[in-house]
A and B are shown apart, each in its own frame.
Chain A
Amino acid sequence: MEALIAVIIGVLTACGVYLALRARTFPVVIGLTLLSYAVNLFLFVTGRLTIGQPAVISDQAVGYADPLPQALVLTAIVISFAMTAFIIMLALKARAELGTDHVDGRLEAGDGGGIQGGERG
């Protein structure tokens, strides 16, 4: 199972990095989201993979799951959720202000309707 999780994290990270390097804001946002998924999963398994173990103290327990990574991952999920919401709003605002969804605000052939909007900037 470790190998499977490791591969999943690796694939998510690779896709995230690839998309984050794209020139349009939408793939960049998706890429950053995938990166945050990858890191959340990574944080979750830093407490090692255990099945059916209690995280809080109990009399019958033979072993424990580490509760701390679960707390960390909750915090990380909340923060990345807020950040994603923020960057989506910012990407929309950039599209409105710059008239293009290029990350550098550059207008290119084929941007079509964006060109009129770009002159407002």
Chain B
Amino acid sequence: MNHLVIAPILFPLFAATLLLLVRRAIPLRVRRRLNLVALIVQILLVSLLVQRVAGGEILVYALGNWPAPYGIVMVADRLSVWMLLITSLLAFFAMLYAVRGTDAGSRHFHPLFQLQMFGLSGAFLTGDLFNLFVFFEILLLASYGLLLHRGGASRVRAGLHFVALNLAGSTLFLFAVGTLYAILGTLNMADLAVKAAATPPENLGVVRAAGLLLFTVFALKAALIPLYLWLPAAYSSTSAPVAALFAIMTKVGAYSILRVYTLIFGAEAGPVADLIGPWLLPLALATMAVGTLGVLAAHELRRQVAYLVVVSVGFLLTAFGLGTEASIGAGLYYLAHSTFAAAAFFLLADIIAMGRGTLADRLDPGPIIANANLVGALFFVTAILVAGLPPLSGFLGKYMVLNAAVDLPSMPWVFGVILTAGLFGVIALARSGSLLFYRAEGVIERTGAAGRSAVGPNWGRLLPVIGLLLLCVTLVVWAGPLSDYTRAIAEQLLKPNVYIRAVLGDPLNA
């Protein structure tokens, strides 16, 4: 058995435990380094895993050596490790920004950050539906702590909504899982796929209901319309590195949708095949449209970026909703891009807000911020990236999805919504950029913290942003091999039998 599969789950747990135990004993400076080193090790572990599964092999780790479907299994396939790789890279840069002062408010920031990694890794690797629920709860509990880090009225208000909604979501998740277990008698995802395909007609309605209930839960996590209302307030009120890390949180929902509805309710699932087919694409397109309205209407830069996250979720699920190998592959390429770009934008919005004194990130004309050329250039690059203009990765992702939609019957809708949303995105970002950098009026109030902005660019804060942007450049430079890889992920996803055989062993037993 290959213990590497479970290493990306166990390692953050150990790191979190260590950081929790030493939180009083050693100074913050050392704990910051410990956390950064832990995140680098996490990236290395995941890279090792990428090499193992890139060839198409599916690694299965049976906990306690109980064979599936009786025990819980961890499954590393191409999709899981792709998500893990994005998560660990994102977390490293978010932490690189957080160590510049965000983490100072509470001793628990570093352990919570690692626990969040623990929950995320587990959610991506687990092959068991109830275990997915447990890891969801772990990552949510850690995210509540991170969201509320350093408190404040707006953060607490948004946090209360976030927690209450997610508790209701967890209840729905349990109802759905319970129903599936009651009817199909298993929780292992591969085994569920086998059993769901052989559902007797009298149970069909119940299984469908459970499947759609599950979709509601994942749609809540992914912030699909009409369940996205928690996102703008939560993301725009929390601290920048946490918002950056949360760029992956909506993708957990998107991942779960992709996993469950290609494996358990996929095209080969017989009577329950293509369960959410009629729902996903219209909802995703509507999410894009509504998110775009939010982007246009936002009065603060951070809220605008939060709505851009909603738009990117809509775009991502549009790609998944088209359901072809090419569109899912393109969507997974876009997933990496949109995660890094949104994170970079949240960090950059924080830098801009800090340079504008009491105006913060409100989109009103204000004083020229320090190092406006450098920050403005970064804003320009990020805006191009997010709006999906050539030559950066946003454009490539968008092009690949559109290209995949050309021959499909839903083509007019997909083209219409994506291109219109893109146009409005460009308009909104151009307006924000000109308000922030061109229509500058007045002088900076040089009080306290603003005084240090005169000394020169704060490279410590700019570096993580540049790093994330460079990751997007990497996505462009190696677009060929990377899009081949995401295409291979989609190919593997659309052949659920390979996954089922890898988990359950001999097909005769299944």
Contacts and interface: CB of A to CB of B under 8 A. Distances in A.
Interface stretch (B159-167, B249-257, B396-404): B159-167
Interface string A62-81: 00000011001001100110
Contacts of A46: 178-179, 181-182
Given A20-B168, A83-B141, A39 B178 contact: yes
Contact of B148 (A47, A72, A79, A90): A90
Interface string A24-63: 0100100010011011001100111000000000000000
A89 to B, nearest CB: 10
A98 B182 CA distance: 44
B153 A42 contact: no
B137 interface: yes
A94 B160 contact: yes
Contacts of B134: 75, 79
B170 A83 contact: yes
A25 to B, nearest CB: 7
Given A46-B179, A72-B130, A83-B137, A98 B153 contact: yes
A38 B174 CA distance: 10
Interface residues of A, number: 36
Nearest to A17: B168
A120 B174 CA distance: 39
B171 interface: yes
Interface in B372-410: none
A39 B130 CA distance: 14
Contact of A97 (B130, B151, B164, B174): B151
Contact of B171 (A35, A87, A105, A121): A35
Interface-central residue, B156, B161, B177, by most chain A CB under 10 Å = B156
B175 interface: yes
Interface SS of chain B: helix
A16 B171 CA distance: 11
Interface residues on B, range: 20 to 34
B152 interface: yes
A111 interface: no
Interface in B428-445: none
A18 interface: no
A98 B141 contact: no
B156 A43 contact: no
Nearest to A105: B157
B144 A25 contact: no
Contacts of A39: 171, 174-175, 178
Given A32-B167, A69-B181, A86-B144, A94 B157 contact: yes
8 contacts: A32-B171, A43-B178, A46-B181, A48-B182, A83-B170, A86-B163, A90-B156, A94-B159
A97 B153 contact: yes
A82 B178 CA distance: 20
Nearest to A33: B167
Nearest to B130: A72
Given A69-B178, A94-B156, 20 more contacts: A32-B164, A32-B168, A35-B168, A35-B171, A43-B178, A72-B130, A72-B177, A72-B181, A75-B130, A83-B137, A86-B141, A86-B163, A87-B160, A87-B163, A87-B167, A90-B148, A93-B148, A93-B151, A97-B152, A103-B164
What are the 5 closest A-B residue pairs judged by CB atoms, nearest first? Answer: A121-B153, A46-B182, A39-B174, A46-B178, A105-B157
B286 to A, nearest CB: 24
Contacts of B130: 72, 75
A82 B156 CA distance: 19
Contacts of A16: 171
Interface in B15-55: none
Contacts of A43: 174, 177-178
Contacts of A91: 160
A36 B171 contact: yes
Contact of B156 (A38, A76, A79, A98): A98
A76 B167 contact: no
Contacts of A121: 153-154
A90 B159 contact: yes
Nearest to A35: B171
Contacts of B159: 90, 94
A79 B102 CA distance: 29
A63 B196 CA distance: 25
Interface string B178-191: 11011000010000
A42 B181 CA distance: 11
Given A32-B164, A87-B167, A103-B161, A82 B182 contact: no
B168 A103 contact: no
A48 B181 CA distance: 11
Contact of B137 (A42, A68, A79, A90): A79
A97 B148 CA distance: 12
